[in-house]
Each structure stands twice: as structure tokens, then as C-alpha cells.
Structure 1
Amino acid sequence: MLDDTSGIKSPSKRLLIKVTRDTLPLVKDKYPFLYLERGRLEIDDASVKWIDSDANVIRLPIATLNCLLLGPGTSVTHEAVKVIAAANCSVCWVGEDSLLFYAHGQTPTSDTRNLREQMKLSADPKKSLEVARRMFSMRFPSADLKGKSLKEMMGMEGYRIRNLYEQKGLEYGVGWKGRNYIPGKFEMGDMTNQVLTACNAALYGILCSAIHSMGFSPHMGFVHSGSPLPFVYDLADLYKENLCIDLAFSLTLSMAGQYNKHMVSAAFRQRVIAANLLGKVAQDIESILEIKNASRDCQ
């Protein structure tokens, strides 16, 4: 990510640090994913090596990884994919710092324990409702949700979000006329809506990559349905208040009517890092689904 003021790369502002020999996971450790950008994956003596843009060569411990996240400027050879698949390591193609999710390559021998548990919970109406109730309880910690239907809890959430938008508008002195997003017409929204849309998309990208790397499916949700990525949207609602909504209102006046994608991206990254989102997602999924060691079972 380029620093907005100097044009120089600022590693401290990056969501995912540069891969070096010192930052590689040890063989004794189990690591959910590794993010790579601007380089090439090749094979050398039956092992996968990463050649970065500075011609540094790093051998990757593929057998200890759940997933490789390939960012901008990456290429991979056919032989490398074969070895990666044989090591049961999946591959995701993502945007810079995994802020956008494009595609996922599933290995034929990948572990499906977490996916099976997710399917069982999603297919059982009673268990699915309990999972949804645990999600809502994270947003309504003092409310008694026992016996409430999904429709009732969604109504509570809709009311909370509408009030939250109004509160943030008053707090930051920003006029708010409601959420307005037209697919494919980003520029049609007002400044706050544009920032909201951009931050939501970035959050979805991070969550989609995390869900895949843990061996779950983004397509089986418990609150949302009838959408492409319901489980992603389920989880996103847990983090939007601080990462997206508050940020959108706080940046609206700062940009003075001129949308600045670099400012939005940098501010969003800072909040994601401060919230330790990548670590929190694994813990929250484990708690919500009540799957012990969900973040490690798929290793």
C-alpha cells in the first residue's frame, strides 16, 4: 500500500506483512493462511519457492499452511499448483491485503470436518436458529433473546442499525438521508454511502478469505439467505459498526466532498489492524458455531 502523503510503501500500515524467512511459520506451528503479492510461485526440487519482486527466493512450508492468498502481481506455475494441491493447501485469489476476494481453488483432498459441521447446523432449523441467536446476542448482550424468532431478531437489528446511522450522523455532524446503494453505480451515492459501500466490500473480502482458509463455506448462512455469500454477510454484521459505519461518518467531512479511495483504504486498514479482525474472526466462528478448535481443525 502506498503511503498517501509520501508515495513510499509503509509496511506498518499494511494489514498483512511482507513474507520473509524470518516471518515464515515454523514447522511445529499450524498456520491458517499466507498472503503473497508481486512475485512468482515455482517448484525447485519438489518444494515450492516464492520469488518476490526483489528477486529474493523463499522456500514455503506448504505442508503447514491451510491456504495461500495470492494478491496483485502474482503468478504461479502448473507444477507449483500440483505440489500445493498434493499438500492439501488451498489457494485464493484476492485483492491487495485480501481486501477483495475473487476466486478460490479447492484441493480434492481438503479436510471437510468444519464444512460438515456447518452443513449440519445450517440444515437443522432448530440448531440454525440457535446459531443465529448467538450471533444476535453479540449485538444485544443485555437482551433476552430466548424464544424469539429469526424474524423478530432481524427486526431488532434493523431498528438498531437505523438508530445507529442517525446517532453517527449527529455525532459527526453529517446529514443522513438513508442507506442508498445502486449496484454498478457507486458514484450515485452521497459521500457517506460511498465510503460505506467501499468498506463493506473490503470487509466481505477479508471475511471470505478467512472463511475459506478455515475450511468453512461462505454460501451457508444462518441469518441471511438468498444471497451469494450469506455466511460472509452474517459475520460482517458483527463488525460493521466500528469498521464501516463509524468510519464512513468520520471520513465524510474529512474528504470535503471529494471521494479519496486512498484515504478510505488506509483508514480501513488501520481499524482492521487495531481490531485484530483476522484473529477475532476465527475465535468468533468457533464460539458462534460451538465447534471446538474450529480455527485449527482444518489444519
Structure 2
Amino acid sequence: MDNLTNLKAILHSKRANIYYLEKCRVMQKDGRVLYLTEAANENQYWNIPIANTTCLLLGTGTSITQAAMRMIASAGVLVGFCGGGGTPLLMANEIEWLTPQSEYRPTEYMQGWMSFWFDEVRRFQAAKELQQARITYLLQVWSKDKALKAEGFVVEDILIQNALQQYGDKMQLATSTNQLLLIEAELTKQLYKYAAQTTKHQRFTRQHDAVDLANTFLNHGNYLAYGLGATTLWVLGIPHGFALMHGKTRRGALVFDVADLVKDALVLPLAFICAKENATEQEFRQQCLQAFADHKALDYLFNQVKSVALSHHQCSDDEATEAPSSEIDNRK
């Protein structure tokens, strides 16, 4: 097994790390990818375990060498350029991804996605399926996460029950993507209100360019979730442009649709909890990443996207594999 295959040995859905870096230089040294930080009297090197990393977010004050990019691409890691704290550099809700090139990504998921995407009725039904999966994940996480329960985030709360019930009813009656987007925005607003009340966050208003901790953490956490969404779609070979909800009436892509599956359940409550505790961005980021791992967020994204794609397309193989490139390499 060669070095390239070794770097791809860990399936993306099982990888543990997302990195957000700022004010550093990323480089290749002695066969490893490192980032260099400049201290007062000395420079410090830190290793990035690329074989166990899904995506790398490069914030303000960063640079990366061509040699490092080559190794990162060999490991199948996505690289995203963003502004400070994980928020976008230029656009209000856009992030630019550099995707590794590989002819060994699977084809059945893209073919399955295309088999329904050009049919407006079937595409709209697939959008509803993802929205239902979003609610299912929130109920699943909030019903068993002891830390969230201790902070007051419980699915048994009458406000949450009513909000989810109304959303489910309205979603079934919706007849267009625009209606679904409005219903989704209404649910998100109710969840923000619930989180603000639960954490005693007075007079909260969601603003992407606001500087208060809750808004800052929401921006940061959302872009970590976008990293998971982008990774999922790249591994499965589905281009970002074939969105189900976003990208029609506002800027966005399939990355946003997929990331929405886990944002409400994990990023939203943690942003308000960490804001209440006056946590640092580093502390918030660590809590997000731990929550992604604890609740198998990346696994959930893979399973849901696969399900939507394959439910509309009969795979020719007996088994659909998530990332078959290493298997093909081994047969060479």
C-alpha cells in the first residue's frame, strides 16, 4: 500500500478533525503538513494529521505552500478560505472551497441525484425529505445529550414541541421551494427565540455581521458545519450547484442544504450556551467539534445524502461504498 493510499485509509465519515487556522503559515516538512505560528522569541510548529482530517478552514493572516496543498489533496482534505472566526471573507453567506481532484469518487450518487434533480416535483420532494431528517436529528440529539438537557434544551418543552409540530404540518402542505424556505426561516427564528430565552440572552437578533458572542459563535459554528457538508458532497461526487432549496431565491448551494441537517441540533444551542459562559472562540470551536464527534454528525450527513440519492437510483453494484478510491488503488 503506497503513501497515497495510506492517507486515504480513514473514511471521511470517520475522521475526527476540522481545523480553523488564522495568523499562521501552513507548510510541508519532512513528509508532514505543519502550521507555523510566530511567537515573540521563537517560531512554533504544530502537526496537522491530514489522514484524520475532513476539512481545513484558513482564516485571516494565513498562507499555504504548494507542497502542503499537494499533500492535503492526496489525503482528500477540503480546504476553505474564510474570514476571521470562520466567517466569510467577501460574501455574507458564501465560502470558497478547493476540492481535491480524484477520478475514483463513486458515480452512483451523482447519477441518482441527477435522475430526479431536473424534475421539479421530485426535487421538491427530496427537499422535504432532507428537512424531515433535520428535525429527526434535532429530536435525536436533544433527547439524549445530557449537557444540553442540563442547560434547558429539552425536546419535551412545549415551545419546542409546538414549533416542530407546526413546522411538520406546514412543510407537508407546502407546494413550492419558496414556501418551504419561508417555513424553514420561521422555524429557525423560533429556535433562536427559544435558545435566547433558555440561556437568558436578552434582546438577541440574528445578524451575520454583529459582534456579540452569540452571533459570532453562530457564524463560526455554521461554517464548521458547512465544512462537513462540503466534505460529504465531495466524497460522494455530487457538485454543490445541484441544490434542493438554497440557490434559487438567494445565494447558496447544496452545501447549505446538507449542513442544515445538523446546525440547529448542535451549533445553535452551543453558540448560546458558550455566549452565556463568555467562552473564547477556541473553547466554542472545541465544544462544536466534540459534539460533531459525539453525535456522529458526519455519519448522519453521509447517510442522509446517500439515502436521498439512492432512493431515486438503483445502484448497479451490490454494495455502495463511501469512498472507493483506496479499494481501487489496492487492486492496481
Q: If the TM-score is normalised by the length of the shorter chain, which range does it land in?
A: 0.5 to 0.7
* Matching residue within 234, 237, 246 for 2:260: 237
Counterpart check, 1:289 vs 2:303: no
Q: Output the TM-score relative to the length of structure 1.
A: 0.64
Please give the alpha-carbon distance, in whole angstroms, between the structure 2 residues aligned to 1:139 and 1:90: 27
The answer for the alignment partner of 1:165 in structure 2 is 192
The answer for the alignment partner of 1:31 in structure 2 is 11
| Cα distance, 1:297–1:122 mapped onto 2, change above 3 Å | farther
* Matching residue within 141, 164, 181 for 2:208: 181
SS in 2 for 1:105: coil
* Matching residue within 191, 207, 210 for 2:232: 210
The answer for the alignment partner of 2:289 in structure 1 is 269
Please give the alpha-carbon distance, in whole angstroms, between the structure 1 residues aligned to 2:302 and 2:107: 16
CA offset digits 1:6-64 (Å, max 9, x no partner): xxxxxxxxxxxxxxx9xx699xx88348779977499xxxxxxx54669x9x9x9xxxx
Alpha-carbon contact 2:261-2:301 (below 8 Å) kept: no
Please give the alpha-carbon distance, in whole angstroms, between the structure 1 residues aligned to 2:287 and 2:242: 31
Please give the alpha-carbon distance, in whole angstroms, between the structure 2 residues aligned to 1:136 and 1:68: 24
Could you list the runs of 5+ residues in structure 1 that have no partner in the other structure? Answer: 1-20, 43-49, 61-66, 183-187
Q: Give, as a single letter, the amino acid of the residue that structure 2 aligns with 1:93.
A: V
CA offset digits 1:173-208 (Å, max 9, x no partner): 1113321113xxxxx432211111111111111221
1:1-299 to 2 correspondences below 5 Å: 31-32=11-12, 40=28, 50-51=31-32, 92-93=78-79, 102-107=97-102, 110-139=105-134, 143-144=168-169, 145-146=171-172, 148-149=174-175, 150-182=177-209, 188-226=210-248, 229-255=252-278, 260-291=280-311, 296=322, 299=325
Give the paired residue count.
245
Larger helix share, 1 or 2: 2
Identical columns (%): 15
| Cα distance, 1:157–1:71 mapped onto 2, change above 3 Å | closer
160-169 vs 135-144, which deviates more? 135-144
Alpha-carbon contact 1:69-1:93 (below 8 Å) kept: yes
SS in 1 for 2:99: strand
C-alpha deviation, 1:151, in angstroms: 3.1
Please give the alpha-carbon distance, in whole angstroms, between the structure 2 residues aligned to 1:170 and 1:233: 26
Please give the alpha-carbon distance, in whole angstroms, between the structure 2 residues aligned to 1:243 and 1:130: 25
**RMSD (Å) for aligned C-alpha atoms:** 4.2
CA offset digits 1:198-242 (Å, max 9, x no partner): 111111112212221221222211011146651111112221123
Higher relative contact order, structure no. (Cα contacts within 8 Å, ≥ 6 residues apart) = 2
The answer for the alignment partner of 2:157 in structure 1 is none
Please give the alpha-carbon distance, in whole angstroms, between the structure 2 residues aligned to 1:138 and 1:115: 20
| Cα distance, 1:25–1:129 mapped onto 2, change above 3 Å | same
Please give the alpha-carbon distance, in whole angstroms, between the structure 2 residues aligned to 1:136 and 1:116: 22
